[in-house]
Each structure stands twice: as C-alpha cells, then as structure tokens.
Chains A and B, each alone.
Chain A
Amino acid sequence: MPTKRTASKISPRTVVLVTLAVGLGLPGALFAAILLLSPLTKPAVIDALVGRVLGVDPATWPWTGLAEGVAVGILAFILVNFGAIVSGMTVWWEMRVSSRMQSRVGYNRAGAAGFFQWIADAVKLLFKEDLIPADADQILFRSAPYFVMAGFALAFVVLPFGESLIAADLNVGVFYLIAVTALVVVGILLAGWSSNSKWALFGGMRSAAQVISYEIPAGVAVMVPILMSGTLSMQGIVRAQGAWPWQWNVFTNPASTVAFAIFFISQLAEGNRTPFDLPEAESELVAGYLSEYSGFRFALYFLVEFGNLWVMAAVATTLFLGGWQVPFVGPEAYAAARGAELIPGAAWWGLEALSMVVMVLKTLVVLNLIVWVRWTLPRIRIDQMMNLCWKYLVPWAFASFLFTLLWQLAVAGTPALATVSGIALTAATALLLVLFLRQTRANLVAMGDRVDLTNW
C-alpha cells in the first residue's frame, strides 16, 4: 500500500551519484576496453608479445594460434557486452524521450531518472519462465533467437570505433555487414513459423517481405559511398572522407544526400523500426514474430532490436558522415604519434580516444534521430510500405547510383566540384536546421508554452 511504503533509507544524493557512476562508468569501461583491446588483439601484436614476454619464437611456438584466438575471444566478448549494454541504455533513453514527446514523466523510479529500469527489466526477463508452446517446433523455436543474435553480434566485427579501433578491418567490410544482417531475417522467419501461431507467422512473413524488399534500395544506396571512396572497407571509406561537414560523403556529392536519405529509410525498415514496424504491429499482430516468446529468448529479440539502433547509426555515420575523422588531425598525425614501438605512446592513445569520442558523438546524434522519427510518425500500411520501396526508393537509389558514376568522372576532371558541392550542401543543411529550429520555436509559442527542462 503506497501510504505504508517503507521509507527508502538511501538519500537522493546517493541515488544520483550511484546512477551517474553506473550510467557513465558502465559504457565508459566498455569504451575503454574497446580502446585498449582492439589495437592490441591484432595477430601481429600478439605474436610480438608472445615473442617478447615468453621468449619463444611465435612462428614455431605451438600455442600462438591459441593465444591469438583467446585475445580475439576477449575482444568479441567485450563487443557483445557493449552491444547488450548499449541496447539496454537505448531502451531507457528511448522511453525517456518518448515520454517527454508525449507530455509524460516517464521512467523515474529505479535510480535517478529511472536509469536502472532497463537493468530491472532485464533481470525480470531473466527470471521469467521460458515457455515453449505445446505445438511449436521445438528445435526451430529454440534456435531462432541464436540466428538473430548472431546476425547482430557479427555486425560489430566491422563497426569502427576510431582510427585504429575496429575488431577487423575486412576489405569487404560493407558487403560483409549487409550479408550478416541477413541472418536476422532467417531467425525472424524461423521464429514466426516455429511458434505455431497465426500472429507470429504473419509477423515473420511481413518482416521477411519487408527486409528482402528494403535490402535492395539499401544495397544500391550503399554503393554510392563505395563508389566515392573506391573501397569496401569501413575504415577505407572513413579515410576517404574529411573531418569537416563539407568533406563528408553525404555532402560532397548531391546524389549522396539522396542516397543517405534512402539508406536511412531502408535501415529503419530493415530494423523493423517505426514507421516500418508492421511485423510487430501491436494492434493487429499482438507482437508479431515474438508473440510466443518469453523470458530470456524474448529478451534476446529485444536486445537485438534496440542494439540494432547503434549498429544502424554507426554504419550511417561511417558511410556518410565522416566516421571518426577529427578536425585538424590528419593521417600523418596518427602515424607520427604511432611511432615504431610495439605499444604506442600516450599521444597516440589520446588521439585514438579523441577519434572514438567523435565517432560516438556522431553515432549518438543519428541514434537520437532514429528514436525521434519513431515517436513522430505513425505506422504505415503494408501496401504503402511496398509502394515506398519499389516505386520511390529503388528508382531513386539507382538514379543516384548512376549520377554518382558520372559525378566521379566529373570530379576526377575538376576536383573543385566536390568542394563546391560540399560547401553548398553544408550551408543549405545549416540553413534548414535554423529554419527547423525556428519552426519548433513557433510551435512552442503557438501553444503559449516555453522551453522548460526543469522536470527532466
């Protein structure tokens, strides 16, 4: 009974401090671990360490492969944990933002600003009974979440966090990314079918149809930055861009701006985010393909759904928004700070940390944009969804692809063209941003209200 609730013995100040410690410390520790581990777990470094620390020749020592494997395993563990924790914190942040957009208070009980809610939810889900419907296809029902999780976790292999901070800079990076996300579709389809439920089946079918359709505009739109950089490697694409907005892929080519919009929309659809959340439309399909799931398996789907926000945002940042490029710090600066040492000095680590900060900030901006779109637009109908894909996105993606081919030829002739386009489009975007903020202010004033963040 609320009136007889035992008074909490923890003072509000302690709650805020603990929340801040966990809320900043947890991601901070993970970022630090990624910062430290991703340059150090490279096979060459491990080989050199083996040679230096153990005094054996890494080429003939039988356990070199094992040492490399363990190092990569630790990095993978950190990355998967990063995905999980970022997913949970995104849930909390999204719920806070959505409640404000709907004039509600939102999470505010567990911890300051309700920050521990996502941990409480996760713990609750872990303790729930793992139900499997009686007539479900046991094997497929149990295995489907693993496909989804694998597709999600594998994406982190090629997500750059900074100049040298990437698990593996595959030279087929972008291609690999598109390929592994296909595993998620397999998982969703299997989940839909094996649940032996109408709703789950419809959800799975819708999701598959949607993801297959939107892979085409996404793939073609991705070709635009690939053409502009001449490489499939994620780091290569970032290196081909500059640090300032007018050097970003999204602005140096008018078609690339269109491609960015197409890519962004397709990513929303592939991640089953509103306004494309038809596969789990609550009002029609209960929860779509995860209707029959409970407990930990349900938690896995949820983790992937929200963790995908980070992946989507990081990929968009890498391909179009300049990635981790820090202003005034060119490749020579990194090379100079790197030196020839096996373990580079503090200056290099500082630069790496700086590039990571830039990358994370840009990613968070895009992530917030995705959250913002979700709480703005209503769900679209399935025919509208297909129309949008096949009649608008696909032709426009091909058009921007062709335009980019010609544009690259033109830029090869007159390199100033890219700069002109970059400056013009950056200025236009800045102008639009100002107009947009004025429009927002006008909306506020029209209601006789004002900016008030006191109750955040």
Chain B
Amino acid sequence: MNLTPGKILGWLAGAALVAAFLVGMAQLAIGPAAGAWSATAAGPLGVRDVLFYVLAALTVAGAGGVAFARNILHSAIGLLMALLGAGALYVLLSADFLAVTQLLVYIGGVLVLVLFAVMLTSRIGEVNVSNASVGVVGGLLLLAAVAPVLVAVALLTPWRLIAPGPAVATTAALGDAFLTRWLLPFEVASMVLLATLVGAIVIARKEIKAD
C-alpha cells in the first residue's frame, strides 16, 4: 500500500469528519437541549437493543466493505451484508412485508444480477475498476457537499420514538394504500419500469442488428 498525498488527505478528511461528528454528538448529549434524547438512551440494554446494534454494525460494515473492497465481488458481498442488515432492521420496525420485499428484490433480484453482470466482465480483481473513479479531489468535494446535510439531518431531526409493539400484518394496508391514496406515484413508478424495459429491448435489438 503506497501512500500518496491524496490518500493521506482523504484519510485526514475522514478522520476530521468522524471527530467532528463525535464532538457534535457529545455536545448534543451533554448539552442542555438534549434532555429527551439522553433519557431514551438510558435504561437496560434489552435483547432488542442488542439486536439493533448488531444489525446496524453489520449494515455499516457491509457498506464499508462495498466502498473499500479491492475486488468487485467482495464489494458485492459487502452489498449483500448491507442489504441483509437493512432488511433485518425493517423486521425490527415491524415492517415484515417491506423486509421480505427487500430480501426478494435487492438480494434475489438486484444483487444476483449484479453478480451475474460482474462475472461477465474480465477485470474483477483490478482496483481502479472497483474504486477511485472520481479521484480524491472530487470525492472530497462530494463529501463537503453531502456530509453537512446528512449530519444535520441526523442531529437536528426530532426523531419520533414509538414503543415497539407487536408485529402487525402490513400487507393488506400497503396494498390498500398503493391502490387508493398513492395510486398515482405507484403507477408513475411502473411507467418508469416500463420505460426501462423498452429501453433495454431497444438497446439489445440494436446490437443484434449491428452484428
């Protein structure tokens, strides 16, 4: 691993961001405005809390794997972990239908297709294919643009706290909502999918004609 100035800069920026985040969190937790927030954090760690932290760690670790793996397939496995973790978090939120959909669509569909497509390429182990396509400067600019927003959202949103209740069947409610109140967005989304399908067919047919 050779350290270029750009890399060092990137690491430093990352460390600074983490430090800033920690400082901000600490301020929020200690500061007078954080009374309600710290109250919820107190109390003994239940099985649910432990599960949540384990799953959250899995998700974050998976996401890190996607970004830092030197091999596209290892990135794909990281993606799998992140998606699985997100699905499990949905289960913790009593959103069973959503969790299973996450599993089916993202792991059964998207991830398998990603793996499939990756296997059709020949440069799986090459680093520069996997990462660093924008460069450190671009990455830093992106970070500078995105990080404040994310941190602000995470810290400033008054998160609603709901006591974990028993799991309720959400399938029927979801179906009702899709076909009544959210019918228009639902249909627009299917139009997008239709357009994608047509586009894919057009591209595929062109290639055949070119042969």
Those of B29-88 within 8 Å (CB) of chain A: 44, 46-48, 71, 73-74, 77, 80
Q: Which of B97-105, B129-137, B184-192 lies at the interface? A: B97-105
B107 touches which one: A170, A176, A186, A215 (CB < 8 A)? Answer: A186
B80 touching A205, Cβ below 8 Å? no
Partner-binding segment picked from A136-144, A342-350, A447-455? A136-144
CB neighbours of B97 from chain A (8 A): 172, 175
| B101-132 at interface with A (beta carbon < 8 Å) | 101, 103-104, 107-109, 111-113, 115-116, 119
In the complex formed, the residue of B with least CB distance to A219 is B104
Q: State the interface size on chain B (CB cutoff 8 A).
A: 26
Dominant SS at the A interface?
Answer: helix
> Could you say which of B100, B107, B115 contacts A208, with CB atoms under 8 Å apart?
B115
Tell me if B171 is interfacial: C-beta within 8 Å of chain A. yes
Measured between beta carbons, the chain B residues less than 8 angstroms from A179 are 100-101, 103-104, 107-108
A62 interfacial by beta-carbon distance below 8 Å: yes
Is chain B's interface secondary structure helix, strand, loop, or mixed overall?
helix
- Which B residues are in CB contact (< 8 Å) with A69? 47
Interface residues on chain A, number (Cβ under 8 Å) = 34
Q: Collect the chain A residues with CB atoms within 8 Å of residue B77's CB.
A: 139-140, 143, 190
Of all chain A residues, which has the CB nearest B48?
A65
A33 CB-CB contact with B under 8 Å: no
* Measured CA separation A172–B111 after assembly (Å): 22
Determine the chain A residues whose CB is within 8 A of the CB of B109 once the complex forms. Answer: 182, 212
Closest chain B CB from A287 CB (angstroms): 19
B112 to A208, Cβ gap below 8 A? yes
Chain B CB within 8 A of A183 CB:
yes
- Interchain CB contact (< 8 A) of B116 among A181, A205, A215, A232: A205
Write the A320-331 contact mask toward B (1 if CB under 8 angstroms, else 0): 000000000000
Smallest CB-CB A-B distances: 10 pairs: A182-B108, A65-B47, A179-B104, A179-B103, A171-B169, A189-B115, A179-B100, A176-B100, A172-B100, A175-B100
Interface set of B (CB-CB < 8 Å, partner A): 44, 46-48, 71, 73-74, 77, 80, 96-97, 100-101, 103-104, 107-109, 111-113, 115-116, 119, 169, 171
User: Can you list 8 A-B pairs with a CB-CB distance of less than 8 A?
Assistant: A65-B47, A176-B100, A179-B108, A190-B115, A208-B116, A209-B116, A212-B112, A212-B113
